[in-house]
Structure 1
Amino acid sequence: MKKKNQLAISFALIALLLSGCVQRTKSGKPYGFVYEKLAIPTQHILNWLAEILGGSYGWSIIVITFIVRLILMPIMIKQSKNATIQQEKISLIRPQLNKLQERQKEAKTPEEQAAVSQAMMKLYRENNISMTGGIGCLPLLIQMPIFAALYAAIQYSPELAKSYFMGINLGQRSFAFVLLTFISYALQGYLSTLGLPEEQKKQMQSMMIISPLMITVMTYVSPAGLGLYFFIGGIFACIQTLIINFMRPRIRQEMQNELKNKPVFEVELPSKTEEETTNSSESKTNAELIHQNNRKRNAGKQKNR
């Protein structure tokens, strides 16, 4: 959990750094770390690629996206595979996990809740399951400077801001790319649920909605050039998910082979406190009394008849 918090803090700091480094002089000229060290080199690369590709800055952005995603794909596939392994392991401990979660709802004191939490952590630890689900922030952290570089390059380059691709101004917002980005990432979310049990599908429903919406909002507030980057990235995400789906049966077989050598570790449910036991006994006694009274009433009615 500490590692996850460190990654979240690092992500927030880098986002703050990249979002606030482009400034303007009184005359409107941009300056700052992001503009000078990232945007200007990106403008040179885009200009060079545009010359090769017949003056098309749109195809230049697509080529850069293709190169970046191709470099990141082995890392992202590895992380997706790790996440899939974690999902399969969680499905194996699901009966125990459900019992612990039910026990946690019944807990009356902080001590009981702590005992259940410790049992849950032990269940994860002994079965070698990551609390973060095997998902890391490295691919996103690597792409953040690219987002900042493309955004600033498109925002502050006269050539890029006035260029068109498929009739779309790359320097202005494009509702077409907003829609295409949403469709591509919604499709990726749907593909990620194929072959999963219904219970896991239900658990993933919220992420299937939230993730595409977040990227769609980012596309909406960005120039079309960056929207093109997000859209092509969504296509790569679909391809990556299809690769993982193809690997899933093999991953399940590996899990079954692993179970033969190391069966699922089972934890003991924390014992109920005296108060809970008393309440449970009282409830049982009250239920028995009600049942006996009902039987007496029915017997009396039959006798009167």
Structure 2
Amino acid sequence: MSKNTVFTYKKASFVGSIILVLFLSGCQAANGEPIDPDTAGFFDRYFVLTFSSVIKGVANFFHGNYGLSIVLVTILIRLALMPLMLKQTKGSYQTREKMAIMKPELDDLKEKYKEKKDSESQRKMQQEMMELYKKHNFNPMTSIGCLPMLIQFPILIGFYYAIRSTPEIASHSFLWFNLGQSDLIMPFIAAAIYFFQFKATQIGLDAQQRKQMAIMGLISPLMIGFISFNAPAALPLYWAVGGTFLIFQQVLSKKLYQQKPSTITTEPIKN
């Protein structure tokens, strides 16, 4: 485990969001057609159809406003997932703090074995590193938790396909656009919001880490913008609302958990 543990965690999380976008763009199972409840599989029956019913129920409550329904349900889903995501973010900050505490000792250990490349020396270095982790009550495996990310995937994917496979959405308009037709403005809005969301994830990273993530930061917005040009406007609406919420969540998590270097104690942080 190196000093880039937290950065690797952030990188993995961001790559996960890109994989989600690629998955949604590449999997066209629903193809925009209604799902037959009698023949639907487990995922369609319990995720897609459930979210479709929720979208229609909220829209009916607001006199058939499906655009507002998508906005509200997206926010509700993100609110439901936020405790998990905040916990995940808190863990990443605690990991960074522990790594900051251990850094002098880790640097000394690396310097000690810098010129020793034989297998026996490398084994001893790994052994001493494990002892250092134990001393500071640090588990590198549990510190990089991906469970919250894995939990949110089926929920977000199910909601995505619910939007695609709910025919009532296509026959309604919201703001200036028709939800069932592509729009020239919404793709730019959705892409811009996800670009700013990426910039929010860079707060607190050093210059080298920001540089390493620069290319990755363009992939997700570009993919979302590209897909949105060929998709019903309901989808970039969903992405725009979700991305805006993620920016708020990112800023909130940094205010709650991010500590200035001067506030980091020299005592091991208990799990």
Normalised by the length of structure 2, the TM-score is 0.68
**1:153 equivalenced with 2:183 (yes/no):** no
Q: Corresponding residue for 1:36?
A: 45
For 1:187, the aligned partner's letter is F
Which whole-Å deviations, capped at 9, do the CAs of 1:233-258 have from their partners, x for residues lacking one? 222222222223323466867742x6
Which whole-Å deviations, capped at 9, do the CAs of 1:243-285 have from their partners, x for residues lacking one? 23323466867742x62xx59xxxxxxxxxxxxxxxxxxxxxx
Distance 1:38 1:74 in 2: 21
Distance 1:72 1:209 in 2: 27
* Native 8 Å contact 1:77 1:244 kept in 2: yes
Distance 1:103 1:85 in 2: 27
Distance 2:183 2:112 in 1: 51
Per the TM alignment, residue 89 of structure 1 is displaced from its structure 2 partner at its CA by 2.0
Q: Corresponding residue for 1:89?
A: 98
**1:217 equivalenced with 2:223 (yes/no):** yes
Distance 1:175 1:115 in 2: 60
More helix by share: 1
Q: Corresponding residue for 1:78?
A: 87
For 1:32, the aligned partner's letter is A
Distance 1:110 1:46 in 2: 60
Q: Corresponding residue for 2:61?
A: 52
Normalised by the length of structure 1, the TM-score is 0.62
Distance 1:29 1:246 in 2: 43
* Unaligned ranges ≥5, structure 1: 264-305
Distance 1:241 1:28 in 2: 35
Where in structure 2 are the equivalents of 1:128-207 lying within 5 Å? 128-132=137-141, 134-171=143-180, 176-194=185-203, 196=204, 200-207=206-213
Q: 1:166 to 1:101 in 2, by over 3 A?
A: farther
Larger radius of gyration: 1
How high is the sequence identity, in percent, across the aligned residues?
29
Per the TM alignment, residue 37 of structure 1 is displaced from its structure 2 partner at its CA by 3.0
For 2:243, the aligned partner's letter is G
For 2:40, the aligned partner's letter is G
* Native 8 Å contact 2:194 2:220 kept in 1: no
* Native 8 Å contact 1:192 1:245 kept in 2: no
* Native 8 Å contact 1:50 1:60 kept in 2: yes
For 2:90, the aligned partner's letter is K
Equivalent residue of 1:242, what SS? helix
Q: Corresponding residue for 2:253?
A: 244
Q: 1:38 to 1:204 in 2, by over 3 A?
A: same
Distance 1:28 1:76 in 2: 32
* Native 8 Å contact 1:186 1:212 kept in 2: yes
Per the TM alignment, residue 151 of structure 1 is displaced from its structure 2 partner at its CA by 2.8
Calculate the aligned-residue CA RMSD, in Å. Answer: 4.1
Relative contact order (C-alpha < 8 Å, sep 6+): which is higher?
2
Q: 1:90 to 1:179 in 2, by over 3 A?
A: farther
Equivalent residue of 1:112, what SS? helix
**How many pairs align?**
244
Q: Corresponding residue for 1:290?
A: none
